[in-house]
Amino acid sequence: MEVDLVIRNATVATASDILPNQDIVVKDERILCLGQGLSALFKARREIDAEGAFVTPGGIDSHVHLHQDNSPTGDTFATGTRSAIAGGTTTILAFASQERTDESLFPVVEEYHRRSAGQSYCDYGFHLILTNPTPKILQQELPVLVKDEGISSVKLYMTYQPLKLVDRQILDVMTSTRALGMTTMVHAENSDMIDWITERLEERRMTDPYYHAVSRPNIAEDEATYRVISLSELMDIPILIVHMSSKIAAAHVRKAQTRLLPIHAETCPHYLFFKSDRLRGEHFEGAKCVCSPPLREDQMDLDAMWQGLKNGTFTTFSSDHAPSKFDHPQGKKAGLVNGTTSFRKIPNGLPGLETRVPVLFSGGVLKDKISIQKFVELTSSNPAKLYGLDKKGTIAPGFDADLVIWYPSSRKMTPFALTNDMLHHDIDYTPFEGMEFENWPRWTILRGSIVWDRENGGIVGQMGYGRYLKRGRSTLSKPREVFVNEFRPY
C-alpha cells in the first residue's frame, strides 16, 4: 500500500508509555498504524529516519491570546501560529473576546473567524471570553455556538475592571455551561483587593513595574481560587482555573480534587522559572515580565508549581501567550510616559507560545524533573481531553498525525542559549532570553505534513494550512449530580 509518510525507528512517547523502535505510518492526514518492523510493508512517499529520537504528540496550547483588541501590539494569528509550529505546537485554542458593550456573541465569533481564516499555520479553535452574560446570550446564543461552532468552553474573569464578573454573574454563566456541558475557565484573583492596594501604591508614588507584583499578592489569588471552587461546588460543574501561580491556591485545588470535585487547573512556564525580582530590571525592563497573576516572590511558590505538575494538581500546562511589544508606546512602554512610571498602564502578559513545549522538555524532562509521559499528558493529551479535541493528543491509529520529532541523544544537537531573534513571533523580546536548551523540535508535523524542519528551511508549513476545529464536550469530567443541599440550580 502506498502511504504519505513513514517515520522509522522512533521512540514513541505517549501519556502512558514509552515504545521503542516504532515505525509510524501516516496516510490521509491520520496515523494509519504504528509498530515494530512496519516500514517494509508500505511504500512511502516520504520517509524520516528517527533512529533513537523521541516522537511525541503535537503540542496543544489551550491558552493563547492572538489579535485581541486589548493588545494592539501583540501577535496576529499569522505570527502567533508561525511561532507555535516552530516550537512543536500543532494546535492552539485562542480567545474570541466579548466586549462589555457587545449585545450578541455571533458577530464576535465572526470577527475572530475573519482575523484567523487563511492566516493560521496550525490548527486552532476558540474559547469565548464572556464579559456581558445577558440572558439572551446565555440561553439563546451559547447553545448555537456549542452546536454549530463547536465552541465548548468559556473564560470568565474575576478581576480587571473592563472584564470582570461578580459572583452572581458567574453563577448565571455556570447554570448555562452546566446545561450545555461546557468547560468553564476562570481567571481567579480578588479584584477589590488589587484595586484597593493599587490606589494606595499610587498615592505613595510606588509605581515602578515591581509594584505590579506587590499590588497582586498571593492572597488575592488564594481567596479567589477558593471562592470559585465553592461556586463550582454549589453549581456542580467542572471548571479549570487558569494560569495558577500560588502554592496556597494550588493546595485549595488539590484538596477539592481529593474530595472528587471536578476542579482542573493550569500553570504556565513563567511560574516555574521566574520570580518577581525579574520586575526590578533597569530602564523599565521589568515591564517585560508584567503578567497576572504576577511572578511570585518566594521560591516556595515555584517549587509548588513543579510539585503540582507532578502530582496531578495541574491538568494542563499552557503558555498564556498574551504578548505586547516592549519598545512601543502602546506596548509595555505605555507604562512609561515622559519618564514617569505607572505599572497600572503596562499591558499584562508575556510571550511564550513557541517556547512552552521546549522549555518543559529541556527544563523538565531532560533535567529529570518530570517524566516524558507526564510531559506529554500536560502539553498535549490532557488539553485534548479537557477541551473535546477527539482526534488529537496522542499517537495512535485514527488520530491526526500531529507529531514532534526531537533530536536523538546520539546525534545530539548542540545545546544553545536562546535569543529572541531565533523565535518566530512578532514580539521584540522573550523572557527566556539566554536560557540554555539541550533539545528543540527537529521536525513538527501537522496532519501528516512537515511544517517545521529546523535544519532545512525552518518554517516549511503554509499559512492557511491550519484548520478551524469544532470541538466536542470534555471527556475528562462532567457534573456529578452531587449538591451542597436539597437546592438544585436547574
Contacts with ligand URP by CB under 6 A lie at 65, 187, 243, 291-292, 320, 322, 348-349
Which residue lies nearer to ligand URP by CB, 243 or 296? 243
Residue 348 binding result from ligand URP, Zn ion, none, given CB thresholds of 5 to 8 Å by partner type:
ligand URP
Which residue lies nearer to ligand URP by CB, 119 or 159? 159
CB of 281 to ligand URP, least distance (A): 17
Our finding on whether 400 is near Zn ion (CB under 5 A) is: no
Residue 9 binding result from ligand URP, Zn ion, none, given CB thresholds of 5 to 8 Å by partner type:
none
- Comparing CA positions, the residue from 19, 16, 121, 33 lying closest to residue 401 is 33
Cα separation, 343 vs 333, in Å, equals 10
Residue 10 binding result from ligand URP, Zn ion, none, given CB thresholds of 5 to 8 Å by partner type:
none
Rounded-to-10 torsion of CA 234, 236, 238, 244: 20
Q: Which residue reads 491538568 in cell numbers?
A: 315
> Which of positions 304-333 make contact with Zn ion (CB under 5 A)?
320, 322
Which residue lies nearer to ligand URP by CB, 351 or 408? 351
The amino acid occupying position 290 is V
- Distances in Å between the Cα of 372 and the Cα atoms of 59, 60, 283, 360, 437 are 13, 16, 39, 10, 16
CB of 418 to ligand URP, least distance (A): 21
Number of H helices, E strands in the chain: 14, 21
Rama region for 306: left / alpha / beta (φ>0; ψ in -120 to 50; rest): alpha
Which residue lies nearer to ligand URP by CB, 346 or 360? 346
CB of 365 to ligand URP, least distance (A): 25
Which residue lies nearer to Zn ion by CB, 141 or 266? 266
- By beta carbon distance, the residue nearest Zn ion is 187
- Please give the grid coordinates belonging to residue 159: 478581576
CB of 276 to ligand URP, least distance (A): 14
Contacts (Cβ under 8 Å, ≥6 apart) of 450: 46, 443, 444, 460, 461
CB of 415 to Zn ion, least distance (A): 31
| 402-438 as b/e: b if 16+ CB within 10 A | bbbbbbbeeeebeeeebeeeebbbbbbbbbbeebebb
CB of 455 to Zn ion, least distance (A): 33
Residue 392 binding result from Zn ion, ligand URP, none, given CB thresholds of 5 to 8 Å by partner type:
none
SS3 89: strand
Which residue lies nearer to ligand URP by CB, 156 or 376? 156
Cα separation, 289 vs 322, in Å, equals 11
Residue 427 binding result from ligand URP, Zn ion, none, given CB thresholds of 5 to 8 Å by partner type:
none
CB of 372 to ligand URP, least distance (A): 28
Contact pick of 8, 178, 187, 216 for Zn ion (by CB under 5 A) = 187
Which residue lies nearer to ligand URP by CB, 266 or 438? 266
- Please give the grid coordinates belonging to residue 391: 482526534
Helix ranges (DSSP H) in 236-333: 247-258, 269-273, 299-311
Q: Give me the residues that bind Zn ion (CB under 5 A), please.
A: 187, 320, 322
